[in-house]
């Protein structure tokens, strides 16, 4: 990507984290970015490609934060550390975009369906790497990463309706420790 294109994608991702994807319209977005809708199309080709790039940028940002998280002292602690990271405002913004894209993808709407599947792989790889670095055996790491990610998504969806700390978090951490042992 060119520098101008990269900059537009980064800033469009910031905008989408605040406003969502469903209501994304090129003219208001372009105005917010200090450019024109024609320039967005020139650099990105189409609204659909812009959405793809926003989803990819968001997934990249989110997984990079997890990849830079230092290994935890144990698999149990890794779950708690990943949850702490996942509940930061920055990660919450990415999760909101992910849930929105996933919802649209569930109905087979493209580019959401394909990009969410790719986003899942990027994120799961980062979860898995952190777990391995924290003592989860490589042979069990993929299935444990999938378990952790699925539980976290459930916690995230329930969180607005419950307390900040989901009741199942400690149980999940103990289960991961038992599976790793």
Q: Classify residue 71 by its DSSP letter.
A: P
Domains in the chain: how many in total?
1
Is pTM, for the whole model, over 0.95? no
Residue 143 has pLDDT above 90, yes or no: yes
User: Within a domain: residue 149?
Assistant: yes
User: Within a domain: residue 17?
Assistant: no
Q: For residue 171, what pLDDT band results from cuts at 50, 70 and 90?
A: confident
User: Within a domain: residue 114?
Assistant: yes
Q: What is the pLDDT of residues 2-45, one digit of tens each?
A: 899 999 999 999 999 999 888 889 999 999 999 999 999 999 99
User: Within a domain: residue 29?
Assistant: no
Give pLDDT, residue 1: 58
User: Within a domain: residue 25?
Assistant: no
* Rounded Cα gap, residues 11 and 126, in angstroms: 24
Nearest to 124, CA basis, from 104, 136, 142, 110: 142
Residue 164 has pLDDT above 70, yes or no: no
User: Within a domain: residue 124?
Assistant: yes
User: Within a domain: residue 68?
Assistant: yes
Residue 167 has pLDDT above 80, yes or no: no
- Parent domain of 116: 54-180
Residue 131 has pLDDT above 90, yes or no: yes
Q: What is the pLDDT of residues 53-62, one digit of tens each?
A: 999 999 999 9
User: Within a domain: residue 46?
Assistant: no
């Amino acid at each position: 990507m060119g520098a101008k294109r990269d900059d537009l994608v980064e800033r469009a991702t910031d905008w989408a984290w605040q406003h969502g994807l469903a209501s994304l319209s090129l003219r208001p977005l372009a105005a917010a970015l200090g450019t024109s809708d024609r320039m967005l199309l020139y650099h990105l080709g189409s609204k659909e490609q812009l959405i793809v790039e926003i989803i990819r940028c968001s997934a990249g940002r989110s997984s990079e934060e997890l990849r830079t998280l230092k290994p935890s002292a144990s698999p149990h602690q890794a779950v708690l550390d990943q949850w702490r990271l996942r509940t930061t405002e920055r990660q919450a913004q990415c999760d909101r975009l992910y849930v929105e894209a996933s919802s649209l993808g569930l109905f087979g709407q493209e580019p959401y369906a394909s990009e969410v599947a790719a986003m899942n792989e990027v994120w799961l790889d980062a979860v898995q790497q952190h777990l391995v670095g924290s003592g989860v055996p490589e042979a069990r790491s993929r299935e444990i990463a999938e378990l952790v990610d699925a539980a976290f998504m459930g916690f995230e969806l329930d969180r607005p309706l419950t307390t900040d700390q989901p009741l199942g978090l400690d149980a999940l951490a103990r289960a991961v420790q038992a599976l790793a042992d």
